[in-house]
Structure 1
Amino acid sequence: MLSFFKKWFGNKGKQGKHTGSTDPVLDLGPAATLDDSSKKIPKADIHRLMIQATRIRKTKGYHEAVLFLEDLAEYYLKERNTALVTTVNKLVPYMKKDTQLTYEKARQWLQDLIGRLPVTDPYFLNVHITMAELLEVEGTDKAIEYLKKFLQEHLPSADTYYHLIRLADFYRKQGDLKQTKNYLEQARQWWDTKLARYRLIKMLRRWHHSAALLSFEGNGSKDPADFLFHRFMEFALDMACVLDPVQIDEFHKRKDQYYKGKRGFSGTSQFEKAIESPALPKNRDTLIRDIFGFVFEEMPLMLGVPEKQLHFHPGDPESLDEVRQKKLFSTRPFTRYEELEKKIRKIVGL
């Protein structure tokens, strides 16, 4: 099987290989963390391979898909390619449903993989989150115990950010909302505008996702505006993830997905319950109109994308300076979070 992957990638696998000596490093205080620009995952290839895994699962069953993904994981591990994390995230849920594979064997396989993870890139630490999710089969207590031990053994940094949030999620599942708030607050301290633009945006998006769930379970129908605030922040940040003048078509593709209901919050029971609450200052249609209008039209301008670039079509005339500014956009830090938060609070009536 490994020969198949060599044939598939050719020399592409080396694109994601890290040496640890040439990667740019940001000084974040207690610990250093790698900038996202160092994580060169061959996205097109990993995307196609995940689709292939899904196809195998549908046609041949979970066991064959597991074998395929295990071989792929070994390939990425050998190449020290961070696409390993995506592969493992796809693999473990399949392992849980593979009737030919016991839980113990799945756990041992993942434990062995973790023991061989490269130490050159902290991005690989995210595999520990997947291990915690597998251990949840034994109970949420086991997942919590694993992540708490992990956090005790690793210096706090932006690289353990998602571990803190996942730990908060596990505590929420247990009904311990005090600890949920505690770990979400700990995660907030790693919001740093020195981080690469899209890395920070994704961190903020993930935090608001968990904060929305906490808000709903903690306040329920008592404070629907707070829940909607976090949901709408998650939505806005999800769109900000693909707001890049160089690839503005990706922004419009995602916008269409939201309009068509193929992506997003609409239709979920929590959202429907909150947005229909009589306690809100606006009705459902007005809220949806306001948040869509802001995120799709106003937010890009607020974040520094001129209207001409927002509605740019291939072949439209543009100056050399405009082209240069477009290319520089993704390198600029994300510094407008407070303005974004203020605007969305106003929309939901907070």
Structure 2
Amino acid sequence: MEESFKGDDRTCEFTDRLWAALESDDFNTFWDDKKLEPIHSIFLPPHFLKAIQQSNISIVVFSKNYASSIWFLQELSEIAARIHEPRHTVFPIFYDVDPSDVQNQINSFEKAFAKHEQIFTTDLSTVHNWRLAMKGVAHRPGWYTPHNPWQQTIDDIVIEVNKKMRELVHDVVDMVGMQSRAKEVIKLLELGVNNGVQVVGICGMVGIGKTTLAKVVYDRISPMFYASHFINKGTEFCMGSRQLQGKNILLVLDDIDIFDLEPLIQTIDDHWLGKGSRIIITTRDEGVLNSFKMHHIYRVKPLTKDEARQLLCRKAFRSDFPVRAYEEQINGILEYANGLPLAVVEFACFLL
């Protein structure tokens, strides 16, 4: 989590208390108070950039003097560049400043930007980018707080951050190691290369991540198809509407056995599906896939040791890094889990 601000002594007191509240709730925070900011420099230190790039949540505390900081505006641009990432959240806080002043860049903000434009006469595009970044972040849902009282606002922020982190951890835990595997499956699907109907099987033992992998692939490629369906085991499915006949369709048949597969294949044969359609079938039994016409079979590999460690730490500590006191337990869990994601997640609960 990355927290930043630019303000007077009262703002510093507010951010001190906010930071302390987040730290006491066991969040990993990076706090930027700009005390070492050089004049007219737009180059951020590497550890600033790393903190922004690795944070799940960025908290921006706007104050009346905020826009006077060149470093901070550059940092704000880096935060704004991630504003639409699904696993990154930006929370603006308006400390003793009207949100409309920030959103419309008037009063002290107008003066600060006018000064920057005088300094960067040969690089006005940089100032323009700062303006856009501020507008984008300031229009996000956040909090307005006057000088006092602070505590209620701080309590509300901690509650909301807790809620968001739980959502983010739930989302990212299952994603560890899946992006590279998803690329491999997508390559087997031969999208844009083969205009026929392609069938790809995903197989592996229970808990290896077949369903998660299929969901990642589905989310990535479904916009490329006229229609898409993710069908879980036991779900009744009928292609139904004739409007779909002959269209390119994506079907994911999850956790299928031999008894499920035969009627489904009869329903969605090559004569029904349009050119460019794709079928992905997940199963623990590779024999099921061998019984039917499969163009490719992808055997899901266990997590590497580094991936398993990252997954364990995200689940247990809400971080990519282990807590030093738990090193021995972590090593034992990783050895026992042997790269099986489900086992890693279940054993991580004992470290919570």
TM range (shorter): under 0.3
**Bigger strand share:** 2
**Bigger helix share:** 1
Q: TM-score, normalised by structure 2?
A: 0.25
